[in-house]
Amino acid sequence: MKTDFNKAMILALKYSLSPRKLPYYFLFQIFAMVMIFFPLLNLIDACYSNNLFENPIPDPQMIDFLVESFGYFFLSIVFVLILSSILTPTFIYNYVQYRNKKDDNLKHSLDHTKQYFLTIFGAFITMAFLVNIIGGIISMIVQVLGTIVSFIMTLTFIFVIQDIIIRKSSISKGLVSSYHYTTKNLPVIVTMYLITTLFSILVILIAIMPLTTVLSHSVVPLFGMLGTELAYNDFLVTFASIIQSDIELYLVSFTTLLLGCSIGKLFSIAFITETYLQISSKKK
């Protein structure tokens, strides 16, 4: 069966802009940003406090602070990954219901997919290992080859989550099924990947424009400080005061950016799921 990309794009765009879907993913994006942003700032501050960017050997008295900061950052990533393991299958199943004009209430989708949460979490960990760890090891040997391998593996396992939710597969079966779908439909998969990537980039470029404008306005006063001998903390205090004076603009700008990211992510989930349904001939 020939893949109908026009249908996939229209359905995915409608789904990503749905006022009954978008607000929930948007709230998740806000929560995820808060969960990661503050531990990341704390970790960066710990690194600067120990001059790790200039001297990789930390002060022994500050090692506990570094370990604690890294621990909080790591836990925040794990927690966001757990939430993603809940939301991703929920929205995949919800899209299937939406495109088949069935009960697409998110609570109904959440109830249906809750049995797969641990499987999805395990699938995320497995794919992260295969794509990043193995690709990273190869990159240490031949950098370009490692990047190519990581990209190929990303395409190879792009349907794993869809297969687990729609066909009720295990992680291993999902990996095998995704491999077979990719190898048998490689031009379709590459086209699908390019469309989702280009759409996400376009949406983010539009959504980031307000933040870029506000940031450029805030950064200008800092250029005059570059040639001075101000301490790192003084530099941060100055930057923080500039942001505080324009806090309303920053809130609006970040909200616009997160809204764009939410639209891009929902489009990606819907478009990939629609493509999977078409090439696997599943009409659920």
Largest CA distance in the chain: 67
Residue-level length of the chain: 284
Q: Tokens 């001998």, residue?
A: 229
Q: What are the two backbone dihedrals, phi and then psi, of residue 88, each rounded to the nearest 5 degrees?
A: -60, -55
Digit-coded pLDDT (tens) for 43-65: 666 666 655 555 555 566 566 66
Averaged pLDDT, 182-211: 93
How many CB atoms within 10 Å of residue 260? Answer: 21
pTM (predicted TM-score): 0.83
* Cβ atoms 96, 277 nearer than 8 A: yes
Give residue 198's pLDDT.
Answer: 95
Digit-coded pLDDT (tens) for 106-155: 999 999 999 999 999 999 999 988 877 777 777 777 677 777 888 888 89
Q: Please state the domain count of the chain.
A: 1
User: What average pLDDT does the chain have?
Assistant: 83
89 CB-near residues (< 8 Å, 6+ apart): 113, 116, 117, 120, 161, 164, 165
Structure token digits, residue 163: 């297969």
Which residue range forms the structural domain that includes residue 21? 5-280
**Bigger pLDDT: 35 vs 198:** 198
Q: How far, CA to CA in Å, does 76 sit from each of 66, 145, 211?
A: 15, 31, 25
Give residue 284's pLDDT.
Answer: 43
Averaged pLDDT, 231-241: 59
32 CB-near residues (< 8 Å, 6+ apart): 80, 83
Confidence of residue 283 (pLDDT cuts 50, 70, 90): very low
